[in-house]
C-alpha cells in the first residue's frame, strides 16, 4: 500500500511506502514547516530532507563558485550534499536531522554564513 504526501497533491510530490513486509514505518505527528518561506507538511522526527523530497523539493543547496544545484547524495550524513540553513543555522545535514514543527528550512547558497548577531 502506498500513501501520497504533499500539500496540494500537485506535481512534484511522491508516493511513500506505507506498509512493508519486514520494515516497520512508525511516523510521528503530521506537522507544518517552512521551506524558503513556503509552508509544507511532514512527519515529526523524519529527516528534514525526506520531508522535502516528499514535497517535491530536490535542490537543497547550491555550490559557492559555480552555483550548481545539490540534493541527496549519501543520505547517511557522510557528505555535504544536503547542507541547508535550518532555523538560521547553516551547514545542517538535513538527511540526518529530525524534522520539528515550525522549522524554517532554507536553501543554502554557497558555504553559508553564521549571523554575527549585530543585525
SS3 percent helix, strand, coil of the chain, rounded to 5, is 10, 30, 60
- Confirm or reject binding of residue 82 to ligand FES (CB under 6 A): yes
User: Nearer Cβ to ligand FES, position 17 or 74?
Assistant: 74
- 8, 34, 73, 113: residue in contact with ligand FES (rule CB under 6 A): 73
- Confirm or reject binding of residue 78 to ligand FES (CB under 6 A): yes
For cell 524534522, the residue is 99
- 79, 100, 104, 109: residue in contact with ligand FES (rule CB under 6 A): 79
User: Nearer Cβ to ligand FES, position 72 or 109?
Assistant: 72
90: nearest Cα among 73, 107, 71, 65: 107
33: nearest Cα among 60, 6, 72: 6
Amino acid at each position: 500500500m502506498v500513501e501520497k504526501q504533499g500539500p496540494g497533491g500537485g506535481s512534484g510530490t511522491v508516493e511513500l511506502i506505507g506498509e512493508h513486509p519486514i520494515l516497520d514505518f512508525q511516523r510521528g505527528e503530521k506537522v507544518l514547516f517552512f521551506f524558503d518561506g513556503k509552508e509544507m507538511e511532514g512527519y515529526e522526527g523524519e529527516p528534514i530532507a525526506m520531508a522535502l523530497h516528499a514535497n517535491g523539493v530536490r535542490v537543497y543547496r547550491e555550490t559557492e563558485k559555480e552555483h550548481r544545484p545539490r540534493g541527496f547524495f549519501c543520505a547517511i550524513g557522510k557528505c555535504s550534499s544536503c547542507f541547508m540553513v535550518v532555523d538560521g543555522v547553516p551547514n545542517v545535514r538535513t538527511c540526518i536531522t529530525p524534522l520539528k514543527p515550525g522549522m524554517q528550512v532554507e536553501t543554502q547558497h554557497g558555504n553559508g554564513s553564521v549571523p554575527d548577531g549585530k543585525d
